[in-house]
Amino acid sequence: MVRVLNFIAKFPASPTGETENLDKNGMKGQITLEIIISLFILVISISTAIIVSFGGQSMTLDTQLSNQALYLSRQGLETYRSLSKQNFNSLTSSSSTQDIYLKEIIVQNIGSSTKKITSRISWKTEPSRPQKIELTTYLTDWKIVPPIGSSCSNGPLTGDWSHPRVLASVDIGSGNQGTDVAVLFPYVYVSSIASQSSKPDLIVFNVSSSTHPTIVKSIDIGSDGINSIFIKGNYLYAASPNVNKELIIFDISNPTSTKEVGSYNVSGSADGLSITVFGNTAALGLAGSSGKEIYFINVANPSSTSFISSYEVGGNVNDFALSNQYLYAVSSDASNDIMTFDITTSSSPLYVSTYNLRDGTEDISVSYQPPGTLFVGNLNNLIVPVDVTDPLHMSAYPNFQTGGSVKDLFCFVGNLTFLATTNSNKEFMIINTANPAAISEYASLNFPQEASGIAFNNNIVYISLRSNDGLRIITSSP
């Protein structure tokens, strides 16, 4: 209407007071066209408003339905997570309906003790618009799976391990001796003790090619070297003889730029010998001294570590093993072969018991095999299996002679155990531990120098050696 009035206003009265002679038909045509255009604009505006209104309602409905589907999908995962704790083997695929939703749980076996659980919710708001939401998780049988950080695995082992073979060996530098090894594929970390303080103490390898590993980073901590290493998350924890930092923490989130980010200095001058981490707590084992030999340290903030507690052992604390509830420490003390701590509350470990093996020699390595067996290696060339089902009433099985000190162990649940030894003909040894009361030798390999550490990933064994030929990579025969 405004445009029509403006159009009329363009034709003022003449000075004589007579109206100009306009083409009435043209005038009417112009007015009609303006009215049609105005009506068209009005119709378009109303239509757009209707479309936006109904479209908004549709989007709101879709959002509400999607949120409900997400809730149902999460609910399905939580239900199966709860069921897995009651009876892991009872988890099977299922489907049901609820209102407009089809609810499906798809269960896939991943190995002997892991299941992939997919919770899928599908629905239709219109025949041509099917919709779906999926959430996935992995559940493990907590009764048999070792905790993160345990020196035991469910494998899988493939190929013929009765005939192991070497894929590669790596020189870590003249004057360096490998002391321990840890893997977070595709990277392997080897710690060392060097003949000179200027030589590297931690060496990082890219092992994406098992036959052609490459060094991507070398770190010198300043002096004394590193005795033991342990990986948890994005950090590597090291036990060192360095008098100013017996515990050293490295950020390995970018392995090629691995860097020291924290440390802890124990009072006194005892060497750091062993290390493990559970929750936000590090357990550091020290050489025997007039002070305490086990330190629990808060490492929640690696750049600002803090003391939790410490315990007197009376000898070298050489190694740790973890179960879901307990930490086991082995030592050189004649009456404190195995010390047990309850770590249910990881920030407050509690002493539980001590067990004397009566073998009269220093115990230097330990591995926990679910559901309740420790394998203890000692300087007297023995593997001692120990039933720890009840930590207050442990009992030892018959010993197994290895022909060399057992420096490190890695076990597979109910199957084999891999050893790093000082046996001059069998530095790498595999034993069958399916029956802890009747251990038997399974296979072995001979290396030029004694083995010091062992790690495993994806059917490949990584061994550190006490020589400049510091890393060996081993797998099974086809």
Tell me the pLDDT tens digit for each residue of 152-200.
777 778 999 999 999 999 988 887 899 999 999 999 999 999 877 778 9
Q: Are 179 and 99 contained in the same domain?
A: no
Which are the contacts of 131, defined by CB distance < 8 A and separation ≥ 6?
Answer: 62, 65, 66, 69, 122, 123, 124, 125
Residue 200 near residue 218 (C-beta atoms within 8 A): yes
Report pLDDT for 121: 94
| Residue 5 in domain | no
Tokens 């098992």 map to which residue? 210
Q: Are 118 and 211 contained in the same domain?
A: no
| Residue 20 in domain | no
| Residue 367 in domain | yes
Q: Which position has the higher pLDDT, 75 or 145?
A: 75
Q: Are 173 and 127 contained in the same domain?
A: no
Q: Which position has the higher pLDDT, 85 or 182?
A: 182
Percent of the chain residues past pLDDT 70, beyond the cut: 85
Containing structural domain, residue 130: 86-141
Q: Are 300 and 435 contained in the same domain?
A: yes
pTM flag (> 0.75): no
Structural domains of the chain, count: 2
Residue 158 is part of a domain; what is its CATH number?
2.130.10.10
Residue 222: its H or E element: none
pLDDT reading at 472 higher than 80: yes
Q: Are 290 and 357 contained in the same domain?
A: yes
Report pLDDT for 136: 84
Mean pLDDT rounded to a whole number for the chain: 86
Angle at Cα 383 formed by Cα 377 and Cα 388, nearest 5°?
A: 85
- Single out the residue in 141, 167, 184 at which a domain terminates: 141
pLDDT reading at 47 higher than 80: no
Q: Are 185 and 104 contained in the same domain?
A: no
Nearest CA-CA partner of 190 in 223, 153, 161, 217: 217
Q: Are 202 and 116 contained in the same domain?
A: no
Q: Are 95 and 190 contained in the same domain?
A: no
Q: Are 200 and 329 contained in the same domain?
A: yes
Tell me the C-alpha distance between 420 and 405, whole Å.
9
| Residue 157 in domain | yes
- Single out the residue in 141, 171, 204 at which a domain terminates: 141
Q: Which amino acid is at 207?
A: V
Work out whether the CA dihedral 438, 442, 448, 450 comes out positive or negative. negative
| Residue 374 in domain | yes
- Single out the residue in 141, 167, 187 at which a domain terminates: 141
| Neighbouring C-alpha atoms within 13 Å toward the C-beta of 412 | 21
| Residue 64 in domain | no
Report pLDDT for 266: 93
Tell me the C-alpha distance between 388 and 376, whole Å.
12
Q: Are 193 and 95 contained in the same domain?
A: no
Q: Are 181 and 326 contained in the same domain?
A: yes
Q: Are 108 and 166 contained in the same domain?
A: no
Going from the C-alpha of 9 to that of each of 3, 4, 383, the distances in angstroms are 10, 9, 111
| Residue 12 in domain | no
Top mean pLDDT of 51-65, 153-167, 240-254 is at: 240-254
| Residue 3 in domain | no
